[in-house]
Amino acid sequence: MGDAYMIREVWESNLEEEFGLLRRLIGRYNYVAMDTEFPGVVARPIGTFSSTSDYHYQLLRSNVDLLSIIQLGITLMDAQGRPPPGVSSWQFNF
């Protein structure tokens, strides 16, 4: 531990610069973890569900279908699970 990894906020103003850095790193750090953020829950599914898991899946699916993504996060790692030094994660803000 002890290594500090930076998360870079990406907006329209620095999008091209961050894409350039990603392009330089992706050849060596070609394992990508992703995370998405949506603004919340605006709908609840109705009907009969086969299980609680089915209900939760339908809840998530219906809200993702209705809403727009507000943030996409990615983290790069190499084949041994090591992130690049410095910036290893990016949060793309929409």
For 35-51, letters b (16+ CB in 10 Å) and e give eeeeeeeeeeeeeeeee
Per-residue confidence of the chain (94 residues) as pLDDT tens digits? 456 779 999 999 999 999 999 999 999 999 999 999 999 999 999 999 999 999 999 999 999 999 999 999 999 999 999 999 999 999 999 9
The reported pTM is 0.82
